[in-house]
């Protein structure tokens, strides 16, 4: 059995510290927006190399408040991607704005900057790239386009704690950066959590107000707000975990390197981070045409595998009103068809990664395919299993 994710393994390493931190909060009688939250905000801002951090109750709330803080509202358009978790789109809709999807790059799987300018209209207010699977989007051209057109940039860094682009941390390049601390994230709470980071003090102040009913002081409501506060127990847990995030991230990166080496003889696409990037491997995905077959074989072998994401947001029933159709975002749709996420977490052992790859290889041998070769229209596309079958 190799689980897709092993949260118990992580807890067992740091149990005494976590238990003490939780007990300390319970003993303090202070449960929401207290000293643990303030301490976490200071430390997480430092980790992201930003001036400010405001902790909130979920990553979705972080995105919602970042959009409101940037002045996004009804009648506006926000350029984003459809190859993401649905929360990115949902937050734009919560703000009253309309999501406008551009396709992703077939190699990095993040927002294709070459498609942004064609999507800009007089209503465009912001660009919201997603650092998918832990690899940052191509931020330099995105920022250049945004500055040229007077647009705000909000980074969805929910999957990218500690990721870097040309030496700059996720969340620190755009005007605002948003994180999730959902338990399975690289930095995960024991419940829900999120944060907005920014260098601009007026933005940080706005997020502070919006997350807590718009209160400047108790019962002094300066603006209408929300109850998006982070609680003390989650912050206390995150304060403990923040001491480990770098070593955990390096362990993820080692596991990814091992997968890269083991998979190099199998002809399907692996993550290809640019040389300047620090990929933090929240997800390690490969691409293969016979994905569903491989997924079921892995699962039969007791190996947790997943798909991130099988149906892109623009083709979800919930967002049919946006008017997109199959074929509108060809790279996104291709990835949704052939992405396969392998187990990855800091505690994944080398022999476990080897077993995952051995199972994939066996699957390849058992299933000759009718189709062969890379798909002509997408040179970076995956090849089929049969292409790799060797005489034995």
Ligand X SMILES: Cc1ncc(COP(=O)(O)O)c(C=O)c1O
**Where do contacts with ligand X occur on this chain (CB under 6 A)?**
58-60, 84-85, 87-88, 130, 156, 158-159, 180, 182, 192, 194
- By beta-carbon proximity to ligand X, the closer residue of 57 and 198 is 57
- By beta-carbon proximity to ligand X, the closer residue of 88 and 172 is 88
Closest by CA position to 316, among listed 87, 135, 64: 87
Q: Please, what is the minimum distance in Å from the beta carbon of residue 349 to ligand X? A: 26
Could you give phi then psi for residue 384, rounded to 5 degrees? -90, 165
Q: Please, what is the minimum distance in Å from the beta carbon of residue 23 to ligand X? A: 25
- By beta-carbon proximity to ligand X, the closer residue of 155 and 333 is 155
Query: CA-to-CA distance for 149 and 143, rounded, in angstroms?
Result: 10
- By beta-carbon proximity to ligand X, the closer residue of 305 and 363 is 305
Q: Please, what is the minimum distance in Å from the beta carbon of residue 60 to ligand X? A: 3
Query: CA-to-CA distance for 195 and 134, rounded, in angstroms?
Result: 16
Residue closest to ligand X when measured from CB atoms? 59
- By beta-carbon proximity to ligand X, the closer residue of 230 and 315 is 230
Q: Please, what is the minimum distance in Å from the beta carbon of residue 99 to ligand X? A: 13
For the four alpha carbons of 254, 258, 259 and 261, in that order, the dihedral sign comes to positive
- By beta-carbon proximity to ligand X, the closer residue of 130 and 245 is 130
Q: How is residue 139 written in tokens?
A: 């931020």
Q: Please, what is the minimum distance in Å from the beta carbon of residue 261 to ligand X? A: 27
- By beta-carbon proximity to ligand X, the closer residue of 212 and 290 is 212
CB atoms within 10 A of CB 279: 23
- By beta-carbon proximity to ligand X, the closer residue of 87 and 151 is 87
């Amino acid at each position: 059995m190799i689980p897709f994710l092993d949260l118990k393994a992580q807890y067992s390493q740091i149990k005494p510290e976590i238990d003490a931190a939780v007990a300390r909060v319970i003993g303090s009688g202070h449960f929401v927006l207290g000293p643990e939250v303030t301490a976490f905000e200071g430390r997480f801002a430092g980790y992201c190399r930003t001036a400010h951090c405001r902790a909130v109750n979920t990553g979705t709330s972080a995105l919602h408040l970042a959009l409101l803080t940037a002045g996004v509202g009804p009648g506006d358009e926000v350029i984003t991607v459809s190859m993401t978790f649905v929360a990115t789109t949902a937050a734009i809709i919560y703000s009253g704005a309309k999501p406008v999807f551009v396709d992703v790059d077939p190699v990095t799987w993040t927002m294709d900057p070459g498609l942004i300018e064609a999507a800009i209209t007089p209503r465009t207010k912001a660009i919201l790239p997603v650092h998918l699977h832990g690899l940052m989007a191509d931020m330099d051209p995105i920022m250049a386009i945004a500055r040229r057109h007077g647009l705000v940039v909000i980074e969805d860094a929910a999957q990218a704690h500690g990721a870097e682009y040309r030496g700059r941390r996720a969340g620190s390049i755009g005007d605002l950066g948003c994180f999730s601390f959902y338990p399975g994230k690289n930095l995960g709470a024991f419940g829900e959590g999120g944060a907005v980071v920014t260098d601009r003090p007026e933005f940080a102040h706005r997020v502070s107000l919006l997350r807590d009913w718009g209160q400047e002081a108790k019962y002094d409501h300066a603006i209408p707000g929300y109850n998006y506060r982070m609680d003390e127990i989650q912050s206390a847990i995150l304060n403990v975990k923040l001491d480990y995030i770098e070593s955990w991230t390096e362990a993820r990166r080692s596991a990814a390197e091992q997968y890269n080496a083991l998979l190099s003889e199998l002809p399907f696409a692996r993550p290809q981070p640019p040389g300047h990037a620090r990929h933090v491997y929240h997800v390690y995905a490969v691409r293969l045409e016979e994905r569903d077959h491989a997924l079921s074989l892995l699962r039969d072998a007791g190996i947790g595998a997943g798909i991130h994401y099988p149906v892109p947001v623009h083709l979800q029933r919930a967002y049919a009103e946006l008017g997109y159709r199959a074929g509108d975002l060809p790279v996104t749709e291709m990835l949704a068809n052939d992405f396969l996420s392998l187990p990855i977490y800091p505690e994944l052992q080398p022999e476990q990664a080897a077993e995952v790859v051995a199972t994939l290889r066996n699957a390849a041998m058992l299933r000759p395919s009718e189709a062969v070769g890379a798909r002509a229209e997408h040179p970076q596309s995956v090849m089929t299993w049969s292409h790799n079958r060797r005489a034995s």
